[in-house]
Amino acid sequence: MPAEENVTLVHRGLDAFSRGDFDAGVEDMQPDVEWHVSFRLPDLPLDKAVYHGHDEVRRLWAAFRSGWAKLTVTLEEVVDAREDFVVVRTRFVGRGSASGIEVDRTIFYVFEIAAGKLKRLRPFDTEAAALEAAGLSE
């Protein structure tokens, strides 16, 4: 799939997550998708670091979103896009529903695409680490 189509796929997925539309979100994912989680907060009932398949991703999204009184994830920049990978910089802003903890951080995501669908998503704290993980560093 050309890089532009992969970027469109990533935008659709982030929009679906932001809307809480779990069914639309998994439409663009491989049946055996891997969704990696980078951090845990007291309000989030997450029980593992990697979720596999549509059902687990739906469960992850529901659990993750339930821990926030306020949550936005904004795609700020497409850092690099190739045939199999899209690397993006996002801004994650939220407030924990029980703790009131405010979070405002930049997260880099590597989206791995196969056969026109999301195969794997991995978060990173730095652009360099994300590019290296995607095999796109200089």
Q: What pLDDT digit, counting tens, does each position of 22-53 carry?
A: 889 899 999 999 999 876 655 556 667 899 99
Domain chopping of the chain, boundaries: 3-133
CATH topology of domain 3-133: Nuclear Transport Factor 2; Chain: A, (3.10.450)
- Return the pLDDT at 41: 54
**Percent of the chain at pLDDT above 70?**
91
Buried b (16+ CB within 10 A) or exposed e, 41-77: eebbeeeeeebebbeebebbbeebbebbeebeeebee
Model confidence over 61-96: pLDDT tens digits? 888 788 888 888 889 999 998 889 999 999 989 898
